[in-house]
Amino acid sequence: MNAPLIDPFARAIRYLRVSVTDRCDFRCTYCMAEHMTFLPKAELLTLEELDRLCTAFVHMGVEKLRITGGEPLVRKGIMTFFRAMSRHLDSGALKELTLTTNGSQLARFAQELVDCGIRRINVSLDTLDPAKFAEITRWGRLPQVLDGIEAAKAAGLRVKINAVALKGFNEDELFPLVDWCAREGHDLTFIEVMPMGDLGGEDRLSQYWALTDLRARLAERFALTDLAERTGGPARYVRLEETGQKIGFITPLTHNFCESCNRVRLTCTGELYMCLGQEDMADLRAPLRASPDDAGLEQAIRAAIARKPKGHDFDYSRQAIAGQMTRHMSHTGG
């Protein structure tokens, strides 16, 4: 059980992203349709089953666990799961337990997250304009999220802001976002919009803002120094010399990051996706429920990792969307 997980391209799998729910209290236009049909609750893994699955991965060498959704903090009883996972931090087997959130529930849960050993979080925030925030999230309220971020800071959490770069939407907020993060002490990462799911009329291609262009705009105002730093994910970082702040770029389209991919994604129904940009997945729910013994589960995990591809097929370069995934981003947790 303790043998490390190595994929066909000699990459050690150290990072597991776990979607604990497909539900969310927002309906972001690049993530899901406004009128989503969510999974019946009976189809979701129980929190105890998620614990068992994550523990199996930790025993096989996963050192970083990121909890996602949907919005993970809307899942009923989710703090019992975080408390359970904290035992792997205490043992030293897990180096980091963290989450990505829309921030709406942080005012309620920030202190409990810290008590569970979480030290940093990612908050998805694409605009600081309340009207535009309501437009992009459909159901969200900016003041609630900003209050949540303040609560996270007060509890001692390090906050990284994730902003999806959207042409014609937040291009004019590039420098306001950078300046706000500098004042607040937040790191900031920009993400290219990915071709995931049918969004009911939203035009993926028209939303796409290449981060090569965004970076060039930053370089007009700041001196950028490339950093060798990696945080276990796909971001590549620069330092703005004038402010000292760190800016990340996640570029699945202009420059894919597949060569160093050390992560897999588990859905709330027990599907393991070896690549965000491929449809292939493995069903772990069946072996999980087939036996209280983990031997079959371990075998299924190792068989899945043996199918991990070299990379994804996302491509906008021909003014058409290639490699589009049929599932919504919320299904896999980003």
DSSP 84: H
In a domain, 206, yes or no: yes
In a domain, 8, yes or no: no
Is 316 annotated as contributing to ligand binding? no
- Determine the Cα–Cα distance for residues 264 and 230; give it in Å rounded to an integer: 17
DSSP 325: B
Is 185 annotated as contributing to ligand binding? no
Find how far residue 329's CA is from the centre of its chain: 10
Is 260 annotated as contributing to ligand binding? no
User: Tens digits of per-residue pLDDT, 69-83?
Assistant: 999 999 999 999 999
Is 28 annotated as contributing to ligand binding? yes
* 158 exposure class (CB count in 10 Å sphere: 0-12, 13-18, 19+): middle
Is 268 annotated as contributing to ligand binding? no
SS3 112: helix
Per-residue pLDDT of the chain (334 residues; tens, 9 = 90+): 678 999 999 999 999 999 999 999 999 888 888 888 889 988 999 999 999 999 999 999 999 999 999 999 999 999 999 999 999 999 999 999 999 999 999 999 999 999 999 999 999 999 999 999 999 999 999 999 999 999 999 999 999 999 999 999 999 999 999 999 999 999 999 999 876 455 444 555 677 899 999 999 999 999 999 999 876 668 899 999 999 999 999 987 655 567 778 999 999 999 999 987 788 899 999 999 999 999 999 999 999 999 998 875 554 444 444 444 454 555 566 5
Is 181 annotated as contributing to ligand binding? no
User: Tens digits of per-residue pLDDT, 93-151?
Assistant: 999 999 999 999 999 999 999 999 999 999 999 999 999 999 999 999 999 999 999 99
- Determine the Cα–Cα distance for residues 49 and 270; give it in Å rounded to an integer: 9
Whole-number pLDDT of residue 222: 98
Is 70 annotated as contributing to ligand binding? yes
Q: Is the pTM of this model over 0.75?
A: yes
Whole-number pLDDT of residue 41: 86
Query: Tokens in use for 165?
Result: 């770069």
Whole-number pLDDT of residue 54: 98
Is 54 annotated as contributing to ligand binding? no
User: Tens digits of per-residue pLDDT, 278-291?
Assistant: 888 999 999 999 99
Q: What are phi and psi of 27, to 5 degrees?
A: -135, 60
Q: What are phi and psi of 185, to 5 degrees?
A: 80, 25
SS3 136: helix
Is 37 annotated as contributing to ligand binding? no
Is 24 annotated as contributing to ligand binding? yes
Query: Tokens in use for 2?
Result: 């303790």
- Determine the Cα–Cα distance for residues 250 and 284; give it in Å rounded to an integer: 28
In a domain, 204, yes or no: yes
Contact 231, 222 (CB under 8 A): no
Is 326 annotated as contributing to ligand binding? no
In a domain, 9, yes or no: no
Is 116 annotated as contributing to ligand binding? no
Find how far residue 23's CA is from the centre of its chain: 15
Is 246 annotated as contributing to ligand binding? no
In a domain, 6, yes or no: no
Contact 133, 144 (CB under 8 A): no
Whole-number pLDDT of residue 327: 46
For 194-253, give the DSSP string.
--BS--SS--HHHHB--HHHHHHHHHHHS-EEEE----SSS-EEEEETTT--EEEEE-TT
Whole-number pLDDT of residue 289: 97
- The domain containing residue 127 runs over which residues? 15-332
Return mean pLDDT, the chain.
Answer: 89
- Determine the Cα–Cα distance for residues 8 and 20; give it in Å rounded to an integer: 28
- Determine the Cα–Cα distance for residues 170 and 28; give it in Å rounded to an integer: 14
For 277-319, give the DSSP string.
TS--EEE-HHHHHH-SSSHHHHHHHHHHHTT--S----B-TTS
Find how far residue 167's CA is from the centre of its chain: 21
β-strand pairing of 281-283 with 271-273: antiparallel
Identity of residue 10: A
Is 11 annotated as contributing to ligand binding? no
Nearest of 328, 333, 332 to residue 30 by alpha carbon = 328
Query: Tokens in use for 213?
Result: 């262009």
Quick one: CA torsion of 139, 141, 145, 151, rounded to 10 degrees? -120
Domain count, the chain: 1
The CATH number of residue 260's host domain is: 3.20.20.70
In a domain, 10, yes or no: no
Contact 299, 305 (CB under 8 A): no
